[in-house]
Amino acid sequence: MVTFIFVTIWLPNFMRRDVFQAIADPIRRDIISLLAKEMLTVNAIAENFDISRPAVSKHLKILRECGIITINKQGREQLCQIEPKNLVPAFLWIDQYRELWEQKLDSFEAYLNDLQSKTQENGKNKSNK
Amino acid sequence: MVTFIFVTIWLPNFMRRDVFQAIADPIRRDIISLLAKEMLTVNAIAENFDISRPAVSKHLKILRECGIITINKQGREQLCQIEPKNLVPAFLWIDQYRELWEQKLDSFEAYLNDLQSKTQENGKNKSNK
DNA sequence: TATAAACGTAACCATTTGGTTACACAAATA
DNA sequence: TATTTGTGTAACCAAATGGTTACGTTTATA
Alpha helices in chain B (DSSP H): 13-16, 19-22, 26-37, 42-46, 53-65, 88-95, 98-128
Least confident of A50-54, A111-115, B65-69: A111-115
- A109 in a domain, yes or no? no
Residue B53 has pLDDT above 90, yes or no: yes
A65: in domain: yes
Per residue in A72-99, pLDDT (tens digit) is: 999 999 999 999 999 999 999 999 999 8
CATH number at residue A84: 1.10.10.10
Which nucleotide has its C1' atom closest to residue A58's CA?
A: C18
C-alpha–C-alpha distance, residues B28 and B19, integer Å: 11
Q: Do B94 and A98 touch (CB under 8 A)?
A: no
| Residue B104, min C-alpha distance to chain A (Å) | 8
pLDDT recorded at residue B25: 97
Is residue B83 within 8 Å of residue B68, measured between CB atoms? yes
Length, in residues, of chain A: 129
Nucleotide nearest to B55 (CA to C1'): D19
In a domain? residue B49: yes
User: Collapsing DSSP states into helix, strand and coil, what is residue B74?
Assistant: strand
Confidence band (pLDDT; 50, 70, 90) for A116?
Answer: low
Find out whether A29 and A39 touch, Cβ atoms under 8 Å: no
In a domain, A24, yes or no: yes
Could you say which DSSP state residue B55 is in?
A: H
Span A35-57, mean pLDDT?
98
What is the pLDDT at residue A91?
Answer: 94
Contact B87, A101 (CB under 8 A): yes
Is A64 near strand C, with its CB below 7 A from some atom of it?
no
Q: For residue range B74-112, what is the model confidence (pLDDT) as tens digits?
A: 999 999 999 999 999 999 999 999 989 888 666 666 666
Domain that residue A30 falls in: 13-88
Say if B35 falls within a structural domain. yes
Of residues B32, B87, B101, nearest to A87 (C-beta): B101
Is the residue at A1 inside a domain? no
